Chains A and B, each alone.
Chain A
């Protein structure tokens, strides 16, 4: 596999937490490669390290040992400010609990990342309108967070994650707080983004039905990959 196609390269990733006096080995050596355009599902029970892995891939945390290359660049040793830059430009997040700002409109929520990439206000608004249209929320841009249903909030979150056109989107249990029908709608959106725009999507889930949407699946247990599935 040529390294040009590899969006993400994880080499023997280890993460150790110190909780009080005890040391917790959250990741015990994870090696994996993700290509551009992949839709990957990470599965495993709680405590398996999937959240930790997600945080490291998302540049919210740094590994204790090992290498993480994003688009061929070593990011595991970058400082906090550089990681923030990368999060802004290269990574979109979608959370189980939506994580939108309260008392804020859908539009303002969507354009939030643009605030930190120095995009001028007018342009930011235009981009946000467009992003919301793409996830099917045209006409609801000025609704406040509490006026939107769960499914609509998650769509806003997806629009927000895409606003800077990142190559990678991370979704942590994106359908966990939604009913089956709405959950499927959301997964359809992810699938569409992956197929039409070639956006790499990594899902963390314990729902096998959600995992079905992915072409590749990895199973974690006790901080290590115990099974890989590729279609």
Chain B
């Protein structure tokens, strides 16, 4: 029997019991669909992260206290608080590969304007912060060096805070209360929109770090220092200079562990890549398990099917079907079933990732390689799990089979 005929005969046989065939393939459909959808979420997340890094520039460095790597911002009352504002000044003075520095502190506070109340993040930063981070001012101005030194009670609003407190009215020159302390609004930030996950750039207020430390948070230590190097090329040099300087200032003996860490974008991108790869392996694991389950389902149903069709097998043998004819017939049914399941699974996965993208507002990206991989795997599952039942069918004795009730 040639290939095409075998497939047609298999389809005909599967068509005789459409409901059962569908239920059998369901395991594969769900497994493949889940793979496609989850891989698309992973690819979408990857693309988003890449886009954000593109915005940030390659000459950015972060100095944080503690040799442990903190994710995001370090929290206020932590056990290791070894950086000071003086460290930041020293870095600016003594490291010639460094262009700007901005010490940072952060916390949350209750903000009031008129009868509007809002709880938001307060970031205390230096006057050069927007230049370092490449953020844009929408209205008004950012604070200057003198204002920072004087610890003036001024602030710059993120676009979401602005909208919530002022609802479109002009905020410049108005006074809001942060933790009951009056602050004058001098500027607003341009809106960036949801950047998915980590932190909402529009939901924050920037104040001079001096003011934040003295008035709002009541601390003498800073959480981090944002640094920009004079150029991308000299970033590594800047990093070394900062490390050397801080070791001297913090009196760290040679060979002892640093009580700070300096990271650049490449490091962060690398750890993001690592977690992405970990995610891929996890997804691969889930996919394998679901395909395995789907394959076991196929094998079970095919075994039941063989038992139910013992008479039929006997009839076929009596008219001249050889062992291998029966083997191929049942194997073909299993393979056709699993590939059809793969096709439906791909369709389900694509629809699923579109729905997720719509409702969860995550970006998803269906990749060609995942579709091809899913197909190959479903074919292999069909062959592997269909073989045992097919072999069992082919080894039946025709006389016994014909007698079977």
In the assembled complex, the Cα of A88 lies from the Cα of B320 at a distance in Å of 4
Known interface pairs A60-B399, A61-B399, A95-B402. Does A118 touch B319 (Cβ–Cβ under 8 Å)? Answer: no
Would B319 and A87 count as touching, CB distance under 8 A? yes
Which residues of chain A come closer than 8 Å to B311, judged between CB atoms?
A: 99
B313–chain A nearest beta-carbon distance, Å? 11
7 residue pairs, one from A and one from B, having the closest CB atoms: A88-B320, A113-B319, A84-B322, A116-B320, A103-B16, A87-B320, A81-B322
- How far, in angstroms, from A116 to B322 measured CA to CA in the complex? 8
What is the bound-complex CA distance between A84 and B318, given in angstroms? 8
What sequence of 0s and 1s flags, for each residue 196-217 of chain B, a beta carbon within 8 Å of any chain A beta carbon? Answer: 0000000000000000000000
Query: How does the 8 Å CB contact mask read for B300-321 relative to A, with 1 for contact and 0 for none?
Result: 0000000000011011111111
In the bound complex, do residue A116 and residue B321 qualify as a contact, i.e. CB atoms below 8 Å apart? Answer: yes
B242 to chain A, nearest CB (A): 79
> A160 in the interface, Cβ–Cβ < 8 Å?
yes
- 22 residue pairs from A and B, CB less than 8 Å apart: A55-B399, A58-B318, A60-B317, A60-B318, A60-B398, A84-B317, A87-B317, A87-B320, A88-B319, A89-B320, A93-B318, A99-B315, A99-B402, A100-B315, A102-B16, A112-B316, A112-B319, A115-B5, A116-B1, A116-B321, A116-B325, A118-B1
Query: Shortest distance in angstroms between A78's beta carbon and chain B's nearest beta carbon?
Result: 12
Question: B323 — which chain A residues lie within 8 A by C-beta?
Answer: 80-81, 84
With contacts A103-B16, A121-B5 taken as known, whether A113 is within 8 angstroms of B320 at the C-beta atoms is yes
A146 on the B face (CB < 8 A): no
Contact of A87 among B5, B312, B318 (CB under 8 A): B318
**What's the least CB distance linking A116 to chain B, in Å?**
4
The complex places the Cα of A101 from the Cα of B319 at a distance, in Å, of: 12
Residues of B within 8 A of A101 (CB): 312, 315
A85 at the interface (CB under 8 A from B): yes
Most-contacted residue by chain B among A61, A113, A116, A121 (CB, 10 A): A116
Chain A 83-137 residues near chain B, CB threshold 8 A: 84-85, 87-89, 93, 95, 99-104, 112-113, 115-118, 121
Residues of chain B within 8 A (CB-CB) of A61 are 399
A43→B317 CA distance, assembly (Å):
26
- Min CB distance A90 to B, Å, is 9
Number of A-B contacts (CB under 8 A): 61
The residue in chain B whose Cβ has the minimal distance to the Cβ of A101 is B312
Residue of B nearest to A104 (CB): B16
Instruction: State the CA gap A202–B317 with chains docked (Å).
Output: 20
Q: Which residues of B contact A81 (CB under 8 A)?
A: 322-323
Please, how many angstroms separate the alpha-carbon atoms of A104 and B17 in the complex?
Answer: 12
A45-63 residues with Cβ-Cβ distance < 8 A to B are 55, 58, 60-61
Residue in A55, A93, A102, A121 whose beta carbon sits within 8 Å of that of B319 in the complex: A93
Chain B 90-126 interface 0/1 with A at a Cβ cutoff of 8 Å (1 = within):
0000000000000000000000000000000000000
- In the complex, what residues of A have CB within 8 A of residue B315's CB? 99-101, 112
Whether, in the assembled complex, B281 has its beta carbon less than 8 Å from a beta carbon of chain A, the answer is no
- Give the docked Cα–Cα distance between A121 and B9 (Å): 11
Please report the total number of B residues contacting A with Cβ < 8 Å.
Answer: 20
Q: Complex: how many Å from CA A95 to CA B311?
A: 12
The residue in chain A whose Cβ has the minimal distance to the Cβ of B17 is: A103
Interface size on A (CB < 8 Å)? 27
How many Å lie between the Cα of A103 and that of B15 in the bound state? 10
Bound-complex Cα distance A212 to B399 (A): 28
CA distance A58 to B320 in the complex (A): 11
- Nearest residue, chain B, Cβ from A160: B319
User: Taking the nearest CB of chain B, how far is it from the CB of A91, in angstroms?
Assistant: 9
Contacts of A100 in B (CB 8 A): 315
CA distance in complex: A85, B322 (Å): 8
Question: Contact at B399–A115, with CB atoms within 8 Å?
Answer: no
A99 vs B16: C-alpha distance when bound (angstroms): 17
* Nearest-neighbor residue (CB-CB) of B312 within chain A: A101
Residue of B nearest to A58 (CB): B318
Chain B, Cβ-Cβ closest to A81: B322
Rounded to whole angstroms, the CA-CA distance of A36 and B312 in the bound complex is 31
Contacts of A95 in B (CB 8 A): 402
Additional pairs, 13, CB under 8 Å, beyond known A84-B317, A84-B323, A115-B9: A60-B317, A60-B402, A84-B320, A84-B321, A89-B320, A99-B318, A100-B315, A101-B315, A103-B16, A112-B319, A113-B320, A116-B316, A116-B319
A60 to chain B, nearest CB (A): 5
CB distance from A11 to the nearest CB of B (A): 22
Q: Which of B1-30 touch A at CB < 8 Å?
A: 1, 5, 9, 16
In the bound complex, how far is the Cα of B324 from the Cα of A85, in angstroms?
12
Complex CA gap A100/B315 in Å reads 8
CA distance A109 to B382 in the complex (A): 28
A117 surroundings in chain B (CB, below 8 A): 320
Chain B contacts for A112, CB-based, 8 A: 315-316, 319
Residues of A with C-beta under 8 A to B1: 115-116, 118
Question: Inside 8 A of B402's CB, which chain A residues have their CB?
Answer: 60, 95, 99
Those of B132-181 within 8 Å (CB) of chain A: none
- Least CB distance from B307 to A in Å reads 15
Which A residues are in CB contact (< 8 Å) with B322?
A: 80-81, 84-85, 116
Residues of A68-88 at the interface with B, using a CB-CB cut-off of 8 Å, are 80-81, 84-85, 87-88
Complex Cα gap A95–B404 (Å): 14
Instruction: Output the nearest chain A residue to B5 by Cβ-Cβ distance.
Output: A121
**CA gap between A160 and B319 in the complex, in Å:** 9
Q: Using Cβ atoms and an 8 Å threshold, which residues of chain B touch A80?
A: 322-323
In the assembled complex, which residues on chain A have CB atoms less than 8 Å from the CB atom of B9?
A: 115
Q: Give chain B residues whose Cβ lies under 8 Å from the Cβ of A89.
A: 320
Q: How distant is the Cα of A58 from the Cα of B316 in the complex, in angstroms?
A: 14
CB neighbours (8 Å) of A160 from chain B are 319
- The answer for the CA separation of A81 and B1 in the assembled complex, in Å, is 15
Q: Mark A144-175, 1 if CB is under 8 A from B, else 0.
A: 00000000000000001000000000000000
